[in-house]
């Protein structure tokens, strides 16, 4: 697949392994855009939030510990998230690269990822920041629904299923996430400002591709493709 990287310095010239980090506040569209970008590049999209929800659904100890924090809009410990990322990115499907949705989310996680990258010989990541104003985020999240089986993300306003409350892909009844209540959304936004905002500063403005995430999902996908120079991959 021909790749046309926008800035050679972002990519390892001799390796096609590419690592993407998708940043942005709750509801900015990370999960929605991760699916599009990962399928365009044929790499796995790894959402640490989805990993915790899967652990919870499987009834594991990690899931039980994380579930309370998720429902309260608090972050899970760096140690636990880092260990999960080490394990997940070591899997076979990551050999050609991967996209991380929602990780790193604190400065210690960013430092940890950078050390891991050095140890594993990974190239510099392509850091994408989806920028969306808070009030739009709250509107989007309170209207979000998700398929518990295939994880497809819907929105009762901007992306409704064909049949109300039912997944288009597998017919499962859609759910509302526990943390999509307005008071929890506001707490998640505060956690983002306090702990995740500084991560963007850590990478520095020259390393971050900021994309306006307030258009339609299709417009944002195009903006991400333009910003990363991946239009040639369609």
Q: Please give the residue ranges that form the binding site for ligand AP5 (CB under 6 A).
A: 24, 26-32, 47-49, 52, 69-70, 73-76, 81, 102-103, 105, 109, 140-141, 143-144, 153-155, 158-159, 188, 215-217, 220
Active-site residue flag, 144: yes
10 binds, among ligand AP5, Mg ion, none (CB under 5 to 8 A by kind): none
Q: Tell me, what DSSP letter sits at residue 195?
A: I
CA dihedral (83, 87, 88, 91) in degrees, to 10, reads 170
| Three-class secondary structure of residue 40 per DSSP | helix
Cβ–Cβ < 8 Å for 46, 100: yes
Binding site for Mg ion (CB under 5 A): 30-31
Q: Could you confirm whether 105 is annotated as catalytic?
A: yes
Could you confirm whether 177 is annotated as catalytic? yes
Residues 6+ apart with CB under 8 A from 106: 75, 78, 195, 196, 199
Please identify which of the residues 53, 140, 144, 145 carries the catalytic annotation.
Answer: 144
Which of 10, 53, 105, 140 is an active site residue? 105
| Nearer Cβ to ligand AP5 (12/116) | 116
Q: Which is nearer to ligand AP5, 89 or 155 (CB)?
A: 155
The catalytic residues are 30, 105, 144, 177, 188
């Amino acid at each position: 697949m021909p790749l046309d990287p926008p800035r050679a310095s972002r990519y390892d010239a001799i390796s096609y392994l590419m690592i993407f980090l998708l940043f942005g506040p709750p509801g900015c569209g990370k999960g929605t855009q991760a699916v599009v970008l990962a399928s365009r590049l044929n790499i796995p999209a790894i959402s640490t939030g989805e990993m915790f929800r899967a652990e919870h659904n499987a009834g594991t100890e990690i899931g039980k510990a994380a579930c309370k924090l998720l429902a309260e809009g608090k972050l899970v410990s760096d140690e636990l998230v880092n260990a999960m990322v080490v394990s997940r990115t070591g899997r076979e499907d990551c050999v050609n690269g991967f996209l991380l949705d929602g990780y790193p989310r604190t400065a210690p996680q960013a430092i940890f990822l950078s050390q891991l990258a050095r140890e594993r010989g990974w190239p510099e990541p392509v850091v994408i920041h989806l920028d969306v104003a808070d009030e739009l985020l709250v509107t989007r999240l309170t209207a979000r629904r998700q398929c518990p089986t295939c994880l497809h993300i819907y929105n009762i306003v901007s992306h409704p299923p064909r049949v109300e409350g039912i997944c288009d892909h597998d017919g499962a009844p859609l759910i509302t996430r526990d943390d999509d209540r307005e008071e929890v959304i506001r707490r998640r936004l505060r956690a983002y400002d306090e702990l995740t905002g500084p991560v963007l500063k850590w990478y520095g403005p020259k390393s971050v591709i900021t994309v306006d995430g307030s258009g339609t999902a299709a417009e944002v996908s195009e903006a991400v493709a333009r910003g990363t120079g991946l239009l040639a991959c369609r």
